[in-house]
Amino acid sequence: MIADQPHVLVVEDEMPIVELLRYNLEKSGYSVSVATDGEQALEQVAEGPPDAVLLDWMLPRKSGIEVCRQLRAKPDTRMLPIILLTARGEEADRVRGLETGADDYIVKPFSPRELEARLKAVLRRSQSVLVEERLEYCGIVIDLVRHRVSRNGRGVHLGPKEYRLLRTFMERPTRVLTRSQLLDSVWGLDVYVEERTVDVHIRRLRKALNGVGEPDAIRTVRSGGYALDLDN
């Protein structure tokens, strides 16, 4: 969800443009942070993704196109709204900009009003995409935006690992997942964790998820693994 004051990251090395953007955006109720080169932009996004990025094409250290490509390659920022700012008006360049995954582009010089209209449009689009991002199965709901879980309308509080486990199950309901598949999905491929760690977190997940009188949502498959299964 977009907060009351949407946070926009401006990535631009020309200070007069930065100041113009900052002035106008803040006046319109946005909170603004600034990065002056491509590397800095990626660092700032990694520290805390903004609601949208205004990204200049020609930047020191790493071009806007490269920044855009890298943001699109990561799951966390795959959907982050990006508007490219470009001095290039050529059709081929515009197409290239959009091909790297920018949501929109705007050609310099631009009017603050035009920019704001574009910004509002990408924020609205990303909001409506996010609203749909929930997983549901037999009364269990994960709100992927707010990281909230409920079962039959009751809030379920999960630790981060249990949340990832449940999410993994909810993406493939009724499918049996082996301990090693769950390890890969929740802990990552590079981390060494013993398989019985999975059992510990499954136990915690069950405890949080199964309310009084509710059937066990997790099925243990002997020597196989686990499945989210409420069909029987």
Binding stretches for Ca ion (CB under 5 A): 13, 56, 58
Instruction: Give least dist CB 25 to Ca ion, A.
Output: 18
| Nearest residue (beta carbon) to Ca ion | 58
Q: How far apart are CA 42 and CA 20, in angstroms?
A: 22
- Which is closer to Ca ion, CB of 59 or CB of 165? 59
Residues in the chain, overall count = 232
- Contact between 205 and 149 under an 8 Å Cβ cutoff? The reply is no
- Contact between 9 and 50 under an 8 Å Cβ cutoff? The reply is yes
- Which is closer to Ca ion, CB of 7 or CB of 88? 88
Instruction: Give least dist CB 96 to Ca ion, A.
Output: 17
- Which is closer to Ca ion, CB of 105 or CB of 137? 105
* φ/ψ bin of 12: left (φ > 0), alpha (ψ from -120 to 50), beta (otherwise): beta
Q: Closest by alpha carbon to 44, among 26, 17, 62?
A: 62
Instruction: Give least dist CB 38 to Ca ion, A.
Output: 10
Instruction: Give least dist CB 125 to Ca ion, A.
Output: 26
- Which is closer to Ca ion, CB of 20 or CB of 176? 20
How is the chain split among helix, strand and coil, in percent rounded to 5? 45, 20, 35
